[in-house]
Amino acid sequence: MADEVLEKAGLLAAYDDQLRTDSEAIGASARVRVGPLHLLEFPGERGFVTYRDLGEGSDEELRARLVEWVPRVLEHFRERGVRHLEWKTRGHDRAPGLHDLLLAHGFEPAAQESVMVGEARLLALDLALPDGVTLRRVHEEADVRAACRMLDEAFGDPVSERTAEALLLRLASGDGTELWVAEADGAMVCAGRLEPVPDSDFAGLWGGATLPPWRGRGIYRALTAARAHSALALGRTLLHSDSTEFSRPILERAGLVRVTTTTPYDITL
């Protein structure tokens, strides 16, 4: 048990040190600081709030700062013409009163996800696929749009071109982002991204989902293994993922550790 606690603490420290603020600002068109908060703008009139921590002080002092910061953040993004704003929180942060404060200002919490972190080699396995299912990395526009439509369906979201447009921009930028898909009978049934984090040991597993009729057959696990192999080839020894309850057990069985939780709070301005 002591070794497990130490392992989790070390992985959480790596997550905090390497994956917050600067790495989250990759691709941002603008960046402003309000105290410890990093206010980021991205294409598509999207805003994002993150931080490494909220600083020292008593709970009362931190609460008083947040009472000041939240309206300043909203005012800043409204003045900048941002329409869709996300405030990203983590379960292990000390942020007294933040939940109630965000709700009072019109934010709505999305579903809580598990932050999974671990060694890429644990997932880089050679796994068999079901008969008729194949994996490949895609980058052509038609494939990217088809994958994003499939992912919207898998997540139960309305089909939108916005995700595809943003992903096409990232793939064209040469930042290392990869999109992997699994296909059966010529149709995409599972997809997910690999996003190497510059100047870090990490690559992120993002956007992974499988259509309901194809779940439980090992396809997502094989797609994750392919991405883990690619991460190692890129020199990234650690993987991280904000996981739903569909993907968390798969990553956990492979050896990744649930180091904390994350809850995004969203608002339309």
Whether 239 and 193 share a structural domain? yes
Instruction: Provide the domain count of the chain.
Output: 2
Whether 124 and 252 share a structural domain? yes
Whether 42 and 123 share a structural domain? no
Please write down the long-range contacts of 157-162, taking CB distance under 8 Å and 24 or more positions apart.
Answer: 162/44
- The answer to whether position 98 is within a domain reads yes
Whether 136 and 247 share a structural domain? yes
Calpha distance 50→48 (Å, rounded): 7
Whether 88 and 182 share a structural domain? no
| pLDDT at residue number 184 | 95
Q: Is 151 exposed, middle or buried (0-12, 13-18, 19+ CB in 10 A)?
A: buried
Range of the domain at 106: 18-113
- The answer to whether position 3 is within a domain reads no
Whether 145 and 179 share a structural domain? yes
| pLDDT at residue number 2 | 43
- The answer to whether position 198 is within a domain reads yes
- The answer to whether position 211 is within a domain reads yes
Spell out the residues 6+ positions from residue 268 whose beta carbon is closer than 8 angstroms to its own: 83, 84, 85
Whether 253 and 144 share a structural domain? yes
| pLDDT at residue number 5 | 57
- The answer to whether position 265 is within a domain reads no
Whether 122 and 94 share a structural domain? no
Whether 56 and 160 share a structural domain? no
Whether 108 and 122 share a structural domain? no
- The answer to whether position 90 is within a domain reads yes
| pLDDT at residue number 245 | 86
As averages over each run of 10 residues, the pLDDT of the chain (269 residues) reads 68 95 90 96 92 95 97 97 97 96 98 95 93 96 96 89 87 92 95 94 93 94 96 96 88 92 97
| pLDDT at residue number 170 | 86
Whether 136 and 205 share a structural domain? yes
